[in-house]
Amino acid sequence: MLQVLRTPSKSMAPALWALGLGALLSYGVVSWGLQIQSRTAPASSAPVVRTNGMNVSELQIDANRVAQALGAPASAQAPGANAATAEHQWTLLGVVAGSSGKGSALLAVDGQPPKAYLPGQSVAPGWVLHSVGHRLARLAPEGQTEATVTLDLPKLGQ
């Protein structure tokens, strides 16, 4: 005689729980990894151009700024600053700059001991610290809104 044995039916619940927990764990690992990666990646410092209704073809393009935006090292100073910078000798020794653009620069002026300056503070007669950035400080003549001299820190390991 032929007997059919019925095996007890196995529940799918443990397998579904394991699958759900595995998916939840994978999601957590990926999201934490992306958060950590986004904190270590430097923020882009590309300038934003506002046209104020001007035709884009009327805008003047500064080749040095375009090169900087594409990754070229910043130039030591602006083209028209040679005569004005001959009066003073600046040495940039350090920069503390936040992503908001606020910070300070440690500058030695004309061989004097270094001193910390905030943006807007007078560095030398007729010159103010315009702004600070990642490993650089920009100086402008007093009363001008645009920086004419850019001082860079030496590259690491030099």
What ranges do the domains of the chain cover? 75-152
Give Cα separations from 57 to 51, 52, 62, 64 (angstroms): 10, 13, 13, 18
Per-residue pLDDT of the chain (158 residues; tens, 9 = 90+): 667 666 666 788 888 999 999 999 999 999 998 888 777 656 566 666 666 666 656 667 777 777 777 777 665 444 444 444 557 788 888 888 877 767 899 988 888 888 999 988 898 888 998 888 888 888 999 888 888 888 888 777 65
The DSSP symbol for 134 reads: T
User: Is the pTM above the cut of 0.95?
Assistant: no
Query: According to DSSP H, which parts of the chain are helical?
Result: 13-40, 63-69, 82-85
CATH class of 75-152: mainly beta
Q: Which residue has 């690992």 as its token pair? A: 29
